[in-house]
Amino acid sequence: MHSKLFQIGPLEIHAYGLTLALSFLIGIYLAMYRAKKNGIDPNKIVDLSVVIVISAILGARFLYVIFHLEEFTGRWLDTINPFQSSGQIGIAGLTLLGGFIAAVVFSILFMKIKKLPLLKISDIMIPSMGLGIFITRIGCFFNGCCYGLPTDASWGMVFPQESPAGFIFPNQAIHPTQLYSSVYGLIIIGILLFLERYKKFDGFLLYTFFILYGISRFSVDFYRYYEDSMVIGGLSISVNQGISIFMIVLGAVLLIVSYLKQKNAAPSEV
């Protein structure tokens, strides 16, 4: 696990930053390709992508800061640096779920203002989110952040002590939750592209993503290290798991409502 991949003069190239940039670039290219196939001007996707990139970084930083306020006492200017957190070595102070939520909210606002077909474009772009998870979580693995709990499993990994994971769990085998997350990102994009052939209404892929990502994140977070958790119905879960439950329910409700609406409208269209 190497946070810094290489250096060119004073410029250091870090794994997390590189994979984050690659996820945005490849994701935008995929969305533009899918937009052209679906009769949407790819240039509109580029404009929307700028909104998504900026809002995702701000949202990811905001959610991290809100739940780590104690880290910034006396140094509040550090809250606006998205790649800094307080004491843990090399950790990126971003929360992916916060970035996703912010990206969704501001994308909707942008498409409403520009009068773009919201659900159709959402279905075009959402596979890029799965691809982004797959790529970015590999960067998390090399960086040693977003790590798991100690384990006796044969696939448990010992991280270097200079990494965030090794700092908290020195010389201990822990779950490589970054790789778990990377794998489910790849599975999500595969399922979405497969199910697209059965799509009956706009929003189908978006709502399905809510369910798939919610289930995946909720499951993996049982093996991931968090400083704090909350108790719901006697079960100790992370804040992100609480948000994941909401996403699963929201996706299921929207799928059912959209399916019933489409089914009821079908006879009148004959």
Confidence at residue 68, expressed as pLDDT on a 0 to 100 scale: 65
Q: Specify the higher pLDDT residue, 74 or 33.
A: 33
Confidence at residue 232, expressed as pLDDT on a 0 to 100 scale: 55
Q: 3-class DSSP state for residue 86? A: coil
Tell me the pLDDT tens digit for each residue of 243-267.
899 999 999 999 999 999 988 876 5
Q: Which one-letter DSSP state was computed for residue 135?
A: H
- The DSSP string of 57-80 is HHHHHHHHHHTTGGGGTT-GGGGG
Tell me the pLDDT tens digit for each residue of 45-71.
999 999 988 888 888 777 777 766 666
Tell me the pLDDT tens digit for each residue of 205-244.
999 999 999 999 999 999 999 866 554 555 677 888 888 9
Positive or negative: CA dihedral 85, 87, 91, 96 = negative
Q: How confident is the model at residue 270 (pLDDT cuts 50, 70, 90)?
A: very low
Mean pLDDT, all residues of the chain = 84
